[in-house]
Structure 1
Amino acid sequence: MNAPGRARLLTVAELREALGPDKVGRDLAYAIARRYGVRLGRRLLVPLRVAEAIAEGRMEELEKTPGPPPRGR
């Protein structure tokens, strides 16, 4: 997944493509982006390392990373 010249931030559509659109639906991809991604303007972007961790089954690594507490409605 980590090829030279590859973007370090993925859009939601790119995240689905990287993880397999048959495995990750649109709603799940947006949930992942809201939880682990960043918002730049109106765009939700997910770090490539998050997609790699999900693909490799290393979710505990994501839970240990420091960051702001989740915000929601």
Structure 2
Amino acid sequence: MNENEGNRPRLLTVAEFRQLVGEKLVGRDLAYALARRHGVRLGKRLLIPMRVAQAILEGRLEELTDQTPRRNGGR
């Protein structure tokens, strides 16, 4: 583990996520769609795990899609 990784948040707001991966690359609508698909909801807040941001930066988003459990009974 890198010494800076201990200081990074594990969950990012949509704005933090966009800033990290690049606001020109990921628009607001796409960021919210990713948050709904791969993130967590805490109250009214949608948060995106750092692992999702890392996967996008490394071009591995397909791996996350294969591992994401389906909601609503798998329908």
Q: TM (normalized to structure 2)?
A: 0.82
Pick the structure with greater CA Rg.
2
Unaligned runs of 5+ in 2: none
Q: What is the root-mean-square deviation in Å for CA atoms of aligned residues? A: 1.6
Match of 1:63 in 2: 65
Give the superposition deviation at 1:57. 0.6
Identity %: 61
How many correspondences in the alignment? 69
More helix by share: 2
Match of 2:52 in 1: 50
1:40 and 2:42 equivalent? yes
Amino acid at match of 2:49: P
State the 4+ residue runs in structure 1 displaced beyond 6 angstroms: none
* Deviation by residue 1:40-68 (Cα, 9 ceiling, x = unmatched): 00000000000100111101210221424
Residues in 2 aligned to 1:17 and 1:28: alpha-carbon distance in whole angstroms:
13
Q: TM (normalized to structure 1)?
A: 0.84
